[in-house]
Amino acid sequence: MKNTLLKLATGIVLGSALTACVNTAQTSNNAALRSTGDMGVIIERATGQVQIVNHTNKDVLAEIDGLGDLSHASIVYSRDQRYAYVFGRDGGLTKVDILKDKIDNRVIQSGNSIGGAISQDGKLVAVSNYTPGGVKVFNADTLELVATIDATELVGKPKNKDGSSVRSKVVGLVDAPNHRFIFSLFDSHEIWIADFSGHDKGEEMKLTKFTDIGYFPYDALMSPDGRYYIAGLFGEDGMAMLDLWHLDKGVTRILKDYGKGDKKLPVYKMPHLEGWAMAGDYAFMPAVGQHKVLVVNTKTWQQVAEIPAHSQPIFVMAQPDNRQIWVNFAYPDNNTIQVFNTQTFELVKTLTPGPAVLHMEFTPRGEHVWMSVRDSNEVHVYDTQTQELLKTMPSKSPSGIFFTNRAHHIGL
């Protein structure tokens, strides 16, 4: 009887100890867990740093430095939303692990780059370069070079200091369905498609070139469904559009009256086309150098209206529910945001967050919008229904804000 009681007591003690161990292990594991679906990265351009943030709790989780020149930097995400690929202006391509709050890998791949994209399957990362002009494509896991696509040589231009030919700058690089990258060549007036659909089978990349697409394409966007690639033209009015469902039709000109207009106005900053809002049958576009937002029917690609605005628009962005568009503006009027109704085109609200509102980013379902207020070293969070300021967070010269839900959008 005594032995039986002793065994029971020992068993209870061991059981309790084991349970405690398991609980401790679970607590430890839970403490280490972090999901990525409500995270994001903010560029701190002046210091070469990024902040890792959580947009559910509206807080900063970590700050990482050592990313080089981040002026005009942009980001794409891996399919699992764990890694952020940061494209720096100094040609740096940095892979940031947002779960471990550290740089996973970093390469200097050119002298001057302007942005990048990640392939549909998440296996390839492409970077567009000014110097030397072209695109470089990397293995997303290792950042090993997979392909170099040299842009068109500029005949008649003096050679580079190293004796190599000067090549066209590449802009407007986006990903497209079927493992393709599309980009524009600013100096040689072209649009190219790099097709990597056979990459997994060891097949060579296929390159398709469209020439004489219009003078000096300066930026481009992809429609949310991945069908239309549209490049803005700096050298002439109008835009160049490629219908990816009907490549045989080639590049067509649209919105021939769009652009700098008959009256040449000073342009303080070229709009970012990626910020185009497409809501219902309309696209809302920043008018270059003019104080208005253009409304375009996306079935006919004809302008149907224009909305008077505070100043020269830079980003025109739709809330995820498409009910409203939010517009920021070029210097010197860049302390202001305006919100417009997408059905009536009426002004809903004018906000003045502070000096140099550079970028806006909506939470995935659109209840909040974050915006960088660079010159006051702050990021603001607004309620999109009431347009009320919910929170202000410190950030050093913030510019781009990129949430991880971008991982599952075409062309971002």
- Please state the domain extents for the chain: 109-269
- Residue 136: predicted pLDDT: 97
- Residue 407: predicted pLDDT: 96
- Residue 224: predicted pLDDT: 87
Is the pTM of the predicted complex or chain greater than 0.85? Answer: yes
Q: What is the distance of C-alpha 264 from the center of its chain?
A: 30
CA–CA separation, 356 and 339 (whole Å): 17
CATH number of 109-269: 2.140.10.20
- Residue 236: predicted pLDDT: 85
Give the pLDDT mean for 365-370.
Answer: 97
pLDDT at 378 over 80: yes
- Residue 308: predicted pLDDT: 96
Task: Find, among 70, 78, 92, 102, the residue nearest to 358 by Cα.
Answer: 70
pLDDT for 260-279, tens place per residue?
Answer: 555 555 555 556 666 667 77
pLDDT for 83-93, tens place per residue?
Answer: 999 999 999 99
- Residue 272: predicted pLDDT: 65
pLDDT at 149 over 60: yes
pLDDT at 25 over 50: no
pLDDT for 163-191, tens place per residue?
Answer: 888 999 999 999 999 999 999 999 999 99
pLDDT for 312-334, tens place per residue?
Answer: 999 999 999 999 999 999 999 99
Q: When comparing pLDDT for 281 and 7, which is higher?
A: 281
Q: What is the distance of C-alpha 292 from the center of its chain?
A: 24
Q: Sheet containing 389-394: which strands, arranged edge to edge? A: 357-362, 368-373, 378-383, 389-394
